[in-house]
Amino acid sequence: GGQLWSGEVDSLEPKVISTCRCAQLAISNQWIARGENTRLQILDPLNGTLRSSFQGHTHYIRMLEFSTDGSFLASGSRNTDFWLWSLDPPQGVMKVQDVPSRVVSAAVSPDASLVAFSYRSEEGIPIRVLDVSSARTLALIIDGENGKLAAESLAFSPDSRILAASDGSAIY
């Protein structure tokens, strides 16, 4: 697994505050999310103190994405688990159903109303776009330029109206 480091950017002596498989820092710098195996933990970014812990994943967590306002966190695992977690108050909000394979990437819209995630499938790496309040699927994007989309990286525009996807060689 990886390590979480604490220290000033220009400091030559960062300290390890935690080990983990994946991590994400909230834009507000108020939280660090840490995925270690099936546990999701929220830590203080300065000293690594545990603030909250979540259970629900059945395989190791491989991706995390905070909403820009820090109100929720999306997490995906090596199998078919994709969760949306409320951080205020800390609780599991909902598990997204019918994810056919492991989650690859996710993005939360800046207005925190949408979450998009990609997953491995026979069609490549399609994208599902969800309404955050209901976890209802609003769109399923399968076809890319060559008939198979390989969405390994996702990002929303600042106004939340455009979703960009990259397969490592092109942007769709």
pLDDT in tens, 71-108: 888 888 878 888 888 887 666 667 787 787 788 888 99
Query: CA dihedral in degrees (108, 113, 114, 115; nearest 10)?
Result: 40
3-state SS class at 154: strand
d(CA 119, CA 69) in angstroms, rounded, equals 25
State the pLDDT at residue 114.
Answer: 94
d(CA 46, CA 56) in angstroms, rounded, equals 26
Task: Look up the pTM and report it.
Answer: 0.77
What's the token pair of residue 14?
A: 């960062």
State the pLDDT at residue 2.
Answer: 47
Write out residues in the chain with pLDDT < 50, as ranges: 1-5, 9, 12, 14, 17
State the pLDDT at residue 170.
Answer: 60
Residue tagged 């840490």 (tokens): 34
Q: How many CA atoms lie within 13 A of 87 on its CB side?
A: 21
